[in-house]
Amino acid sequence: MKNVFLAAAATSLRGFAVAILVTSGMAPAFAAPLPRENIVLKSALAVDPVRNTVVLPLHKGTSQGKAVWYIVTDSSDKSDAAKRGVIFSAVLANVGVVQNVSQTGDSIAFPSAPDFSARRIFVPGATGFPPADAKPGAVADVSYSPFIRINGAGPVLNAPIVATGDGPFDVTSHTNTAPRVLAVDTAKKTVSLLLAHGFSGGHEVVYISTEASDPGAATIERATYAPGLAKAGGKVPILVIVNGQTGAENPNAQGLDFAALDGNTKLDATSENSATLRASRNILSSFPTGSTAAAYSPLWDANVGVWSRQVIAAHENSLLKNQANVYQLAAAGKITAPDGKAFGPVGFVVNCPVVAYLDGAP
Q: What is the pLDDT of residues 123-163, one digit of tens each?
A: 999 999 999 999 999 999 999 999 999 998 999 999 999 99
Confidence bin at 3 (pLDDT 50/70/90)? low
Residue range 27-33: mean pLDDT, rounded: 38
Confidence bin at 33 (pLDDT 50/70/90)? low
Residue 247, pLDDT above cutoff 90: yes
Q: Above pLDDT 70, what percent of the chain?
A: 91
Residue type, 10: A
Give the Å distances, CA to CA, from 221 to 59, 240, 325: 23, 12, 24
Sheet containing 87-88: order of strands: 87-88, 74-75, 157-158, 147-150, 99-104, 107-110, 59-63, 66-70, 161-164
Residue 24, pLDDT above cutoff 50: no
More reliable by pLDDT, 4 or 203? 203
Check residue 186 and give left, alpha or beta (phi > 0: left; psi -120 to 50: alpha).
alpha
The whole-model pTM stands at 0.92
Within 13 Å of residue 339, how many CA atoms lie on the same side as its CB? 11
Residue 309 CB partners (closer than 8 Å, separation 6+)? 13, 15
Q: pLDDT averaged over the chain?
A: 92
What pLDDT score was predicted for residue 197?
98
Confidence bin at 20 (pLDDT 50/70/90)? very low
- Each residue's pLDDT tens digit, 276-331: 999 999 999 999 999 999 999 999 999 999 999 999 999 999 999 999 999 999 99
More reliable by pLDDT, 34 or 149? 149
With beta carbons less than 8 A apart as the criterion, state whether 37 and 290 touch. Answer: no
Name 108's bridge partners.
61, 103
